[in-house]
Amino acid sequence: MSFSSAGMAISGLPDREIAEQKAKQLLKAARELEADGRKAGITSSIGISLAPLQGSSYEELFAAADRCLYKVKNQGRDGYCIGTDEQVHHEL
């Protein structure tokens, strides 16, 4: 079993609802990945920050998203957290 972590930034999302929709799409896509005809069993943890609510500089936004990311990881992984409420959401 191996674990890896990756980060990405998506700019230009107009609001929280669109960010939430994108997080749900990413979680679903990861769950549906297959290897050798079988589900790969990939889970994702996503932390999201929104400008200007959590900051305006890269450092502020990264720190807010990172806090959310680790909230998701500490609450069972395979979910997302948006910096505006810092609640973890697990989608089925």
- From CA 44, how far away is CA 34, in angstroms rounded? 15
Residue pLDDT, tens place only, 5-15: 556 667 777 78
3-state DSSP assignment of residue 83: coil
- Residue-wise burial string across 42-57, b where 16 or more C-beta atoms lie within 10 A, e elsewhere: eebbbbbbbeeebbee
| Cα 57–Cα 27–Cα 42 angle in degrees, nearest 5 | 115
Q: Which residues of the chain have pLDDT under 70?
A: 1-9, 86, 91-92
Q: Is residue 4 part of a domain?
A: no
Q: Is residue 41 part of a domain?
A: yes
Residue span of the structural domain in which 79 resides: 16-89
3-state DSSP assignment of residue 7: coil
Q: How many domains would you assign to the chain? A: 1
How many Å separate Cα 49 from the centre of its chain? 10
Its pTM stands at 0.81
